[in-house]
Chains A and B, each alone.
Chain A
C-alpha cells in the first residue's frame, strides 16, 4: 500500500459551520475552499459555468456550487442547510453551510449543534453589524469550541491593514462581552482566494495562518468530554439464537467519558449497581470504549434495562430531575403555547413536558434579557422552566453537549419545534 493510501487512514474529522449575513460571500467562500483544495470536480465546474452563463454573469459564480435547490438558484439565495465535504491529507471536513437570513436563524442553530468550529463572516466594508452579534451569540450559546472570524471582501478595501485591525478590535469587544474563549481572525478575499487556501500576496502584513491551515490544525480532541462516563441505552440486543441463548447486550453510543470492562457502573433510573462485563462489537471485544464510539455493553448482573435508561459511572452520576431551566431556540412558525405540553427527546429518552415559565427572552441584537415579553415565536431564544413527566438524566450543556441537549416536538404536527440546552 502506498503512503498516499495509508496516510488517509490517520485523518481526523472536523465539522464546521459558516455564518454570515446575506451578502457576506459565505457561499463564495465555501466554493473557494472546495475549488482551491481541489474538491470540485470538472463536471461540477462545467455545470456551474453553464448556469452562470445562462444567468448572464461574466464570472463563474462559486456560490452556485452550494445552492442546490431549484428555488435557491432561481432566487440566488440559500434556503436550507447544505452539507459539503472535502479532505486534505490531514483532515476530512464536513461543512454545514447555513443561510444568513434573519428568518432562517433556526438553520444556523441546526448547523452549529454538531460543529467543532464556526466561521463567522464579516464584510470588511460594513464591519461588525447586528447579524454578526446574533451569529456570535448563537455560536456561543451552542458552545462551539472554536470561532474563526473571516474578515471578507478585503479586495474592496484595498487590502488595508487598518480596516482589518479596526474590525478585529470591534469584534474583540463582542467576544469579551459574550465570554467567547477561542476566537481567531483572518483577513480574506473569498472571491480572489486571498488567505483562504493560499497565502495572500496582497496582504503581506498578515503573518498568521491561512484559513485552511487553521482548519487543519485547530486542536479538537480535548473539546470532547472524557471525564463523565455516560451511556444512553439505545437498543437492547437479544439474539434469541441457540448460540447466544442468554445474551443481553445494551447497544448505544458513548455520550461522554470512558468505559472499561470491570468498571463499576450504575443503571439509571433504577440506581442499581453492577460492573461492565464486556464491550462487544462485530469484530470482537474491546478493552475500552469512549465517546463518540458506538458499542454494545454487557453487564455482570441481570438488571432490568431498556431504551431510555442510562449506564453511568457509579461514583459520578448526572442530575436526575423532573424540573430544570433551559435555553431554548424556537424553530417553528407556531408560537409556543404557555403551559403547553410537548414531547421532549433527550439522549435516547423520550417523555412529555410542560412549559412552566418563561424566565426571560433574549434580544439577540442587544443581548438584553427581557422578562416582560412571554411570547416565544420562530427564531426566538429564551430561558424556560420545564417540567417533565418522568426524571431525565442530564448534565449542564456547558459541561456536556450530548447529555445537556434536547429537542421539543409539537404533538399536533409531529414537527421539531425547539432546540434546548439545559442550564
Chain B
C-alpha cells in the first residue's frame, strides 16, 4: 500500500477547496449562493476550510422564494451568526411586486422559475462577477455537461454548445465587462459523497433531512408538505406520515420521502439502497425532458 493515499472524499475535498481558492484569486466580487440545503452547506464548509484561519473572503447570497421550510431559514440564520458570515438576501416577492416577475397560477404554480429573475437582478445590482453554486453533475443530465468555470453572457445565459474547454486544473475566468461566471466547486460530488462527507466531518444540517412526522398530501407521486402557499385540489387529502427530505428547495416543488432514517448512518444506508434519483422528488424537473437545460440557458443555477 502506498503511504501517500487519500480516500475519494479527501480528494474531492482538495479539488473543491482548490476551485474555491481560484475564485477568490481570479474574481473581484464573487458571491457564494446559499439556500440552506445540504449542497450549499457543504460548499460553505469547504470555503471555510479553504481560507482558515481567515474568514471566508466573500459574501453568501440567498435567493428567497418566500416559500421556505421555516426550519431551513432558522438554520441559515444560526449558521451565519455562529460563523460571523455576511449573507445577502434577495426576495422573489420583491421581483413580483416590481412587476419583473409574474406569479404562476394554478395548483402546480411554483416560484422556482422566477428565482432566475431575482438572481440575475441581484447579481447585476451588486456587480457580482462570479456566483458559486452547489450544482452537481450527477444531479441531472444538463448539469452533467457543466464546466467548473461556466461562462455567462451579459444576459446571464448559458450556451452549452459553445463552452470553453477545461483542461487539467487550469481555469480560465476571463470575461468582458457585464459578463459573469458561475462556478460549481462540488461538480464532481454525488449525493452519496455529500452524505458521507457530512458524516465524516460531522457537519450540522437542517433537521428536516431526518425522519419526522409531517402533514403531507400526495401529488404526481410526490409527498408535498401541506402549507398555506400550496393550493390543494378537492381530491387531495392531508395525512400524517413519517417522512424526511432528500433535497430542500422551494416548498411548493420539493417532495418528501417516507423514511425512518434519523441518523446519518441510516441516511447513508437509505441512499445506497434507493432506486430513484434525488431530483425525482423535484417537481420542477418533471415539466419536460429538457426542463433543467432550458432553465439553465435562461440563467438559472
**A residues with CB within 8 A of B:** 1-2, 4-5, 8-13, 41-44, 47, 51, 65-71, 73, 79-85, 87, 91-92, 94, 106-107, 109-110, 113-114, 221-222, 224, 226, 234-235, 237-241, 243-244, 247, 249, 251-253, 258, 280-283, 290-294, 296, 307, 331, 343, 345-346, 348, 401-402, 405-407, 409, 414-416, 419
Closest to B140 in A: A68
CB-defined A-B contacts under 8 Å, sample of 27: A2-B269, A5-B269, A9-B196, A13-B7, A13-B11, A42-B276, A44-B277, A47-B289, A68-B143, A69-B293, A79-B160, A82-B145, A83-B187, A85-B188, A113-B168, A226-B4, A237-B53, A247-B53, A280-B52, A281-B52, A283-B49, A293-B6, A307-B25, A345-B172, A405-B170, A407-B167, A416-B167
Contact of A414 with B175 at beta-carbon distance under 8 Å, contacts A13-B12, A71-B161, A221-B4 already known: yes
Q: Which chain A residues border B170 with CB–CB below 8 Å? A: 345-346, 405-407
- Which residues of chain B are within 8 angstroms of A65 by Cβ–Cβ distance? 141
Asked whether any CB of chain A lies closer than 8 Å to the CB of B227, the reply is: no
B12 nearest in chain A by CB position: A13
Q: Of B2, B8, B54, B174, which one neighbours A409 at CB under 8 angstroms?
A: B174
In the bound complex, do residue B176 and residue A294 qualify as a contact, i.e. CB atoms below 8 Å apart? no
Known: A5-B269, A114-B168, A253-B18. A10 touches B4 (CB 8 A): no
CA distance A4 to B272 in the complex (A): 9
Chain B: number of interface residues, binned into ranges: 35 or more
Q: Which 8 A-B residue pairs are closest in the complex by CB-CB distance?
A: A68-B141, A239-B54, A221-B2, A282-B52, A13-B8, A414-B174, A294-B17, A43-B280
Q: Which residues of chain B have a CB within 8 Å of any CB of chain A?
A: 2, 4-15, 17-18, 21-22, 24-25, 48-55, 137-138, 140-145, 160-161, 163-170, 172, 174-176, 187-188, 190, 192-193, 196, 199-200, 265, 268-269, 272, 274-277, 279-280, 289-290, 293
Known: A13-B8, A43-B276, A292-B14. 16 other contacts (CB 8 A): A2-B265, A4-B269, A8-B196, A11-B7, A81-B145, A106-B165, A221-B5, A226-B4, A239-B54, A241-B55, A253-B169, A294-B13, A409-B172, A414-B174, A414-B176, A416-B165
CB contact between B200 and one of A9, A44, A114, A343 (< 8 Å): that residue: A9
- How many A-B contacts at CB < 8 Å in the complex? 206
8 Å CB contact of A235 from B21, B174, B199: B21
Partner of B145, one of A1, A68, A113, A407: A68
Shortest Cβ distance from residue A99 to the other chain B in the assembled complex, whole angstroms:
11
B265 in contact with A80 (CB, 8 Å): no
Q: Is the CB of A281 within 8 A of B161?
A: no
Complex alpha-carbon distance, A94 and B142, angstroms: 16
By the criterion CB–CB under 8 Å, are A70 and B2 in contact?
no
Instruction: Please give the distance in Å from B88's CB to the nearest CB on chain A.
Output: 22
The reply to whether B168 and A402 form a contact with Cβ atoms under 8 Å apart is yes
| Residues of the A chain whose Cβ atoms lie less than 8 Å from the Cβ of B272 | 4
Give the nearest-CB partner of B143 in chain A. Answer: A68
**Cβ of B293 and Cβ of A11 under 8 Å apart?**
no
Name B9's closest neighbour in chain A (CB-CB). A9
CB–CB A68/B144 < 8 A:
yes
- When distances are taken between beta carbons in the complex, the residues of chain A under 8 Å from B54 are 237-241, 244, 247
Q: How far is the CA of A91 from the CA of B114 in the complex (A)?
A: 40
Contact partners of A415 in chain B: CB under 8 A = 164, 172
Once the chains are docked, how many angstroms separate the CA of A129 from the CA of B50?
A: 47
Whether the pair B4, A85 counts as a contact (CB closer than 8 A) is no
Task: Provide the residues of chain B in CB contact with A83, threshold 8 Å.
Answer: 137, 144-145, 187-188
Q: Please measure, in the bound complex, the distance between the C-alpha atom of A226 and the C-alpha atom of B114, giving whole angstroms.
A: 50
Distance in angstroms between the alpha carbons of A5 and B280 in the assembled complex: 24
Interface pair B165/A109, CB less than 8 Å apart: yes
Q: Is the CB of A258 within 8 A of B168?
A: no
With contacts A9-B7, A71-B161 taken as known, whether A401 is within 8 angstroms of B53 at the C-beta atoms is no
Contact of A41 among B25, B164, B277 (CB under 8 A): B277
A91: chain B residues within 8 A (beta carbon)? 8
Q: In the complex, what's the smallest C-beta–C-beta distance from A310 to chain B, in angstroms?
A: 15
Q: Once the chains are docked, how many angstroms separate the CA of A271 from the CA of B167?
A: 29
Q: Which of B21, B272, B293 has the most CB of A within 10 A?
A: B21
What residue in chain A is nearest B192 (Cβ atoms)?
A87
In the assembled complex, which residues on chain A have CB atoms less than 8 Å from the CB atom of B6? Answer: 292-293
Instruction: Tell whether, in the assembled complex, residue B2 and residue A222 are in contact, meaning their CB atoms are under 8 Å apart.
Output: yes
A249: chain B residues within 8 A (beta carbon)? 53
Minimal Cβ-Cβ distance residue in A for B267 = A5
Bound together, the chains give a CA A73 to CA B288 distance in angstroms of: 14
B residues near A51, Cβ cutoff 8 Å? 289
